[in-house]
Amino acid sequence: MNLANKITLLRIILVPVFMIFLLVRVIPHGEVWAATVFIFAAITDSLDGYVARKNKDVTRLGKLIDPLADKLLITAAMISLVALGTLSPWVAFLIIGREFAVTGLRLIAAVEGVMISANNWGKAKTIAQIVMIVAIILEMALKSGIYPSAGWLQWLIDFYPASLIASASLLAAVVLTVYSGFYYFYQNKHLIKLR
């Protein structure tokens, strides 16, 4: 197994670690740890591709597990946030449903011998979803009230518009998710044969 695939595998291993920090409510500063693990896992998504291209070592295994790791991370975060009551089930359904739909389209394309690569809208959607998840987790952390009420940290907490950033990033993620999904289908409508 090459280095890029090991990095991707690390991302998959980090998914339950992230969920433990987020969902086990007795862990001190669990939300902050969860956000940290999530950000690190999200960074490995770019890192594994960079390493594979730099080493000219793109493998079939990598092409299979890289998108799987991405979907596991985002889906785990969505389900966890719904379980905690901080994300609407409808938003989670929309985002996860879009992932299933585009994956289905890619399978249809593969049968036809066509590979659908990620485009800029898909990449923007992924970034928006990552920002949304981190913003919601940080909002949870700040609302928990476990942080000191004096000093520079309190100033930072008071300055950071957690609810505004969480709401704006949620809106951006939903819009980009829907648009990029429609864009994939529009660009590849010739692959869908209605009989």
Is residue 118 scored above 80 in pLDDT? no
Q: Please calculate the CA angle 10-11-15 and round it to the nearest 5 degrees.
A: 115
- Return d(Cα 155, Cα 150) in angstroms, integer: 8
In the chain, where the domains are located: 3-191
- Per residue, the 3-state secondary structure of 128-186, as one string, reads HHHHHHHHHHHHHHHHCCCCCCCHHHHHHHHHCCHHHHHHHHHHHHHHHHHHHHHHHHH
**Superfamily of segment(s) 3-191:** CDP-alcohol phosphotransferase transmembrane (TM) domain (1.20.120.1760)
Q: What is the mean pLDDT of the chain?
A: 86
Query: What average pLDDT does range 64-81 have in this prediction?
Result: 90
Cα separation, 139 vs 133, in Å, equals 10
Q: pTM of the predicted model, to two decimals?
A: 0.86
